[in-house]
Amino acid sequence: MRPGLDEYFLKIACVVAERSTCRRHNVGALAVRDKHILTTGYNGAPAGLKDCLELGCLREELGIPSGTRHEICRAIHAEQNVIIQAALHGVNLEGATIYCTHTPCNLCAKMLVNARIKRFVSFGKYNDISFQDLFREAGIEMAILPRPPMQIGTLD
């Protein structure tokens, strides 16, 4: 069967997550408007800098629980990279839907509110639910869907 749009874009977010250089969570995200992908992003070290695959995970070494002390992490979150890529390439995210493999942390949620997205779709839950109140107050629609099947279907 042909996947619906939400499943289709969530599958693409999973492929984007394969580029992640985080040892804890491989997160992928994309911004979509009018059925077109605007930008993508994954979590990892700033461009050109050493990443956790090379250096090891400082948060892991210090025993810092997921969802806390984000400033210790050397990675930029996938949602942040979606916004950064949009800024670098002159792409307006207003009214876009963000598809992401995980729900956002509080900081990413605030950035997405300011980017004026209209919808956020995910299947994975990050260890921080404070985004829900922010999104509700900002009028951002949220959808937490089942994880899409990872096999690729063709009509051969």
pLDDT per residue as tens digits for the range 31-64: 999 999 999 999 998 888 888 788 887 888 888 8
Task: Determine phi and psi for 46, rounding to 5 degrees.
Answer: -55, 150
| Cβ-based neighbours of 149, under 8 Å, separated by 6 or more | none
Is residue 70 within 8 A of residue 43, CB to CB? The reply is: no
Reduced to 3 states, what is the DSSP secondary structure of residue 32?
strand
Active site residues: 79
pTM of the model: 0.91
| Cβ-based neighbours of 155, under 8 Å, separated by 6 or more | none
Dihedral of the alpha carbons of 17, 20, 23, 25, in degrees to the nearest 10: -30
